[in-house]
Structure 1
Amino acid sequence: MKRWNIFRKLSIKELILYGLIFINLIILGLVIFFFQKTINNSPDLVFPPDVRGKDLKEATDILAKNNFKVVIEGVLIDKNKDPLVILDQNPLNTKIPSGSIISLWINMPQIVKIPNVIQKDTGEARNILEKLGLRVEVVNGENGYIVRQIPESDFFIEKGASIVLYSYVSQEQTFTSSTTETYTGGQ
């Protein structure tokens, strides 16, 4: 009974105040408990690997091994970089949950539309295609005109790729005279 005597000496206001303090301590303890549970259940935050400058396959392999998902956000063209190289990524240098999506921007190769060079002189066809940055291989000789091209016109091709031209060389063009007589008009 002596224990309860302490409470008899306190006023009602003091009992309510101590009761509220006790209730607040219990609530604070529960908040801390559930907050720790939430923190422990959240995924680990990690820095994503920097894949800038790597080719697309290598970059996606690295990110997949680190449990990240990849989205190609955009295409950029940088003449000084190799095609299909990662030029930028987001996020970078920021801790994110493992398994997050990484956005990549890739460098696309420079492409050109193949013109039709059929019926053109071999030299003219070669000049047209080489000015576009294409490599040219001529089959059947350089002195004729083009009768076939592979790939055909109106396709898109990467700069630096090869085009095969098939030429037709007439018999008159292959004939070389061993004489040096001057033509006098039939006299």
Structure 2
Amino acid sequence: MRKWEIFKKISIRELILYLLIFVNFAVLVFLIFFLQKSINSNPNLVFPPDVRGKNLVEATDILAKNNFKVVIGGILIDKNKDPLMVLDQNPLNTKVPLGSIIFLWINMPQIVKIPDLIHKDTGEARNILEKLGLRVEIINGENGYIVRQIPESGFFIEKNATVILYSYTPQEPTYTSYTTEPYTGGQ
């Protein structure tokens, strides 16, 4: 009789609650089993091709040829991988209906924000850009100061890209000789 004493301590409400939890669990197990059988037996479900490690253009072509739609799901940055390489995809190793959307995560090239170099000395501007990993082309000479830059400040560009700087070198004023005779108005 001792094993039934536990039920004397449980109220009817608790007993009904435990019974409902058990029934819900049994239904969940049944649904999982049933859905797994129906998914595995559905001929319209296929595994999407694995396009990780391919460049974005190639990956998009492969998925499109297999009747999938592509959406860029995110951007990752891996300095050791090529720019625009697919680093991950979802779904992967899961059967999905033909025509499903495949999300791709791509590697972005390292980018830098262009600083404002206007009115800076050309040497200082060159040093700033080279420290950012950019190439520099200076138009109108290496002396003077920067009056224009392409791209403008605030833009983002890929490392190793070229920034064009336009310099201006002020000229020393030249003085001409003059006379001390008064101007007579050309008479």
Please give the range of the TM-score, normalised by the shorter of the 2 chains: 0.5 to 0.7
Q: CA deviation at 1:132?
A: 1.2
- Tell me the equivalent position of 1:63: 63
Q: Please show how residues 5-154 of structure 1 align to structure 2 within 5 Å.
A: 42-154=42-154
Q: CA deviation at 1:126?
A: 0.4
Q: Whole-Å Cα distance in 1 between the matches of residues 87 and 73 of structure 2?
A: 11
Q: Does 1:159 align with 2:159?
A: yes
Contact 1:122/1:146 (8 A) holds in 2: yes
Q: Whole-Å Cα distance in 2 between the matches of residues 85 and 94 of structure 1?
A: 22
Q: Give the counterpart letter for 1:123 in structure 2.
A: G
Range with bigger deviation, 136-145 or 150-159: 150-159
Q: CA deviation at 1:98?
A: 2.6
Contact 1:43/1:97 (8 A) holds in 2: no
Q: Give the counterpart letter for 1:79 in structure 2.
A: K
| SS at structure 1 position matched to 2:142 | coil
Q: CA deviation at 1:83?
A: 2.1
| SS at structure 2 position matched to 1:53 | coil
Query: CA deviation digits over 1:31-56, x for unaligned, max 9?
Result: xxxxxxx89x9443433212112222
Q: Whole-Å Cα distance in 1 between the matches of residues 159 and 43 of structure 2?
A: 45
Gaps of 5+ in 2: 1-37, 173-187
Q: Whole-Å Cα distance in 2 between the matches of residues 141 and 126 of structure 1?
A: 12
Gaps of 5+ in 1: 1-37, 173-187
Q: CA deviation at 1:113?
A: 1.6
Q: CA deviation at 1:93?
A: 3.2
Q: Give the counterpart letter for 2:55 in structure 1.
A: D
> Please, what TM-score do these two structures have when normalized by structure 2?
0.64
Find runs of 4+ consecutive structure 1 residues off by over 6 angstroms.
none
Number of matched residues? 134
Q: Whole-Å Cα distance in 2 between the matches of residues 71 and 138 of structure 1?
A: 40
CA RMSD between the two structures: 2.2
Q: Give the counterpart letter for 1:68 in structure 2.
A: F
Q: Whole-Å Cα distance in 1 between the matches of residues 101 and 170 of structure 2?
A: 62
% same residue:
81
> Please, what TM-score do these two structures have when normalized by structure 1?
0.64
Greater Rg over alpha carbons, structure:
1
Q: Whole-Å Cα distance in 2 between the matches of residues 103 and 153 of structure 1?
A: 33
